Structure 1
Amino acid sequence: MEKGKISSLQMAFMLYPAIVATAILGVPSITAKYAKTDLWLSPIFAALIGYLTVYIAYKLHQLYPKQTVIQFTEKIIGRIPGKIFGFLLLFFYIQNTGLILRGYAEFVVGSFLVRTPISVIMVSMVLLCAFIVRGGIEVLGRAAELFVPVFIFPIFILIILLIPDLEFKNIFPVLADGIMPPIKGSIVPGGWFSEFFLMIFLLPFLVDMKKGMKSGMMSVFAVMMTLIVVNLTVLFVLGSTTSTKLYPLMNASRYISFADFFEHVESAAMAVWIVGAFVKISVFYYVSALGTAQWLNLSDYRPVVWPIGILIVIFSLWSLPSSVDVSRNDINVFPLQGILMQTIIPLLLLLIAVVRKRNRKGTETSRMD
């Protein structure tokens, strides 16, 4: 099926942009609608979902070390229920990859390539990702290792360049309405943090599996800190208008100006962000293709790469007709759907697996007696 191997560090480099790449764009605006000036606190609460999800994924992997969730679910809850859950999870990931692709294309077309047909943007990205997915997990891991620093470094350069425009008073009052607004604001980013369940598909291919939990937890911490810094930056620059912007970080970057010649850096920021989006879509695409092949009991996942790519494009075109629908989905549908499919149900699977294992041990002990 997949004979490649990656390190725990490469897994971390794959997971980080898989969550952060889209979260830094629209999530600050959504969070600000609920948390207002306390939007910087919401990622801390949301990260709890990420830590729990990583713990669940790693513990399930310890019970079934050479299998992904598509394979071992049948052992936990039976063949037919396992197949049904596997189908629903794959449908969720394929559809979600399409929605990520649509969000990426809406951002590029809406902000920069205004006259370019959105279908051209989406198809070109899927074609690019398909080639790296067919290359296998080692190619994907090396690409992430190469591109993620290129993605991270300019974000922090952008934030440093914004320092002259920061209004630190915008953070006050802190917790004026209590703790509930930032907790409510954490539900949407919580959906993004639940995506750390992707690691269940990557753990079987680690050369240093014992470091898997640590790498996953460090990735959660890195994502949390990135979102806190981004949320504080847009709050200090945009203030109370943060919630009215579709892409607050992009709006904030337009404030950068030095000596009237170093301006309009948002174009450079977009070029760098596309690198992160590429890694994110590739990871989701790979998981969808690998999981589908395992669900169909195929010996190789590569024959399904192109059919899955076509499905991703279809979902991206038909699921959400406009950018308004994309935003509405990010607020109302994806967070709850993501947490249910990637945290709550896997937690139930882990509990059932642990109980069944204990019962099996108890039965074996009684037979020996």
Structure 2
Amino acid sequence: MEKGKISSLQMAVMMYPTIVATAILSVPSITGKYAKTDLWLSPILASLIGYVTVYIAYKLHQLYPKQTVIQFSEHIIGRFAGKIIGFLILFFYIQGTGQITRAYAEFIVDSFLVNTPISVIMASMIFLSALVVRGGLEGLGRAAELFLPMFIFPILLLIILVSTDLEFKNIFPLLEDGITPPTKGAIVPGAWFTEFFLITFLLPFLADRKKGMKYGMMTVFAVMMTLVVVNLVVLFVLGPATSSRVYPLMQIARYISIADFFEHMESVVMAIWIVGAFVKISVFYYAATLGTAQWLNLSDYRPIVWPLGILTVSFGFWSLPNTMELARYNIGAFPPFGLLIQTMIPLFLLVIAVIGKRNRKRVDSS
């Protein structure tokens, strides 16, 4: 079905913007509401879920090296139950692709293209992603490699430009109310870290499979450090006002003014958002398309790329009416849903698979 091969490094390059893209704009505000001045600790605590998720995904991959979760779930718990699990996972990723596309479009409309219909922005992004997905995994990996510098450089540029305005005293007091507030602030970012389970759709196609866990763990660390740095920069610039901003990074970009030349750097944030959202949507889109084809026992996933694209736009357009509902979904519904689908169910499958393997060894030895 998928003939292409990617390296472990390409997998890491694909997963980094997939996690960071949506988190980088809203995480400072969300964590700030709970953790306040300790918001920089929340990504560190949240990353623990990412490490566990990567470990689970890789261990399942070791047991079923040539299969994705849609395929090996049927081997672990039976065809009927496996189909149900596969449907839940696919529904999550198809709906999630629509939700991510809607979030991308809402940001663009609210901040820049205020008179452009949101459906046009969503459809254009899905169209571009569909072209990459139809090109196969190798094309997606190369696109991620190409766009990674365009994603990282604007972040570094923003940090450099605001470096003279950082108020380091904003970090105090440290842990004034104990570890509980940062832990509460880690719940929503933790849901983004569960998205590392997407590697289950990439690991079977690695040219160097033995390095899969190593690069997966390294990517979790890179994402964690990025969110820590962004949270600190936002805290040092905005202070207590961080939690009241919907997109704190955008506020920082508007705050920049150096020698009446570097001003209103909103376009930098827009570049981060567009590039990161493109990679993230494409990875989700690919996982949903490949998984659906495997669930339906098709010989090729390319014929269903366009129908799934239409379904994705429909999900994104009708399920979340505005930015406020999107924020409520990210805070209220997404964390438990993401943890269940991308960490708890895979953990259940891993436990059943390990127990089943041990029982088979005992039977064979007897």
TM-score (ref. length: structure 2): 0.99
Aligned length: 366
CA distance in 2, matches of 1:262, 1:42: 32
Residue matched to 1:128: 128
Contact persistence 2:71–2:295 (CA under 8 A):
yes
Partner of 2:349: 349
How far does the alpha carbon of each residue in 1:265-313 deviate from its partner, in whole angstroms, 9 at most, with x for none? 1113312321111000000000000000000000000011001101110
How far apart are 1:149 and its partner, in Å?
A: 1.6
| Residue correspondence of structure 1 range 1-369 to structure 2 within 5 A | 1-366=1-366
Deviation per CA, 1:71-120, whole angstroms, max 9, x where unpaired?
Answer: 00001011100000100100000001100000000000001111111011
Question: 1:165, 1:255 within 8 Å by CA — same for their partners in 2?
Answer: no
The amino acid that maps onto 1:218 is: M
Cα distance in 1, alignment partners of residues 143 and 170 from structure 2: 39
| Aligned-partner residue type, residue 228 of structure 1 | V
Counterpart CA distance in 2 for 1:16 and 1:162 is: 24
Secondary structure class of the residue paired with 1:222: helix
Say whether the 8 Å CA contact 2:104–2:273 is kept in structure 1. no
Q: Normalising by the residue count of structure 1, what TM-score does the alignment of the two structures yield?
A: 0.98
**Preserved contact between residue 51 and residue 217 of structure 2 (Cα < 8 Å):** yes
SS at match of 1:254: helix
CA-based RMSD = 0.6
In the alignment, structure 1 segments of 5+ residues that lack a partner are none
Question: Aligned equivalents of 2:174 and 2:336: distance in 1?
Answer: 27
Moved over 2 A (4+): none
Q: Give the 3-state SS of the residue equivalent to 2:255 in structure 1.
A: coil
Counterpart amino acid of 2:277? A
| Structure 2, unpaired ranges of 5+ | none
Amino acid at match of 2:339: I
Structure 2 distance, partners of 1:168, 1:254, is 20
Q: Is the 8 A contact 2:47 2:193 kept in 1?
A: yes
Amino acid at match of 1:290: L
* Superposed displacement of residue 252, structure 1: 1.1
> Whole-Å Cα distance in 2 between the matches of residues 26 and 129 of structure 1?
23
Does the residue aligned with 1:246 lie in a helix, a strand or coil?
Answer: coil
Letter in 1 for 2:298: L
| Equivalent-residue separation in structure 1 for 2:268 and 2:217 (angstroms) | 31
User: How much does 1:204 deviate?
Assistant: 0.3
Distance of 2:313 and 2:137 partners within structure 1: 22
Q: Retained in 1: the 8 A contact 2:151–2:271?
A: no
Identity of paired residues, percent?
74
Contact 2:46 2:189 (8 Å CA) reproduced = yes
Distance in 2 separating the partners of 1:190 and 1:305 = 30
Superposed displacement of residue 261, structure 1: 2.1
Secondary structure, aligned partner of 1:114: coil
Separation of aligned partners in 2, 1:74 and 1:342 = 17
Contact 1:23–1:192 under 8 Å retained in 2: yes
In 2: Cα distance, 1:25 partner to 1:153 partner: 16
Letter in structure 2 aligned against 1:85: I
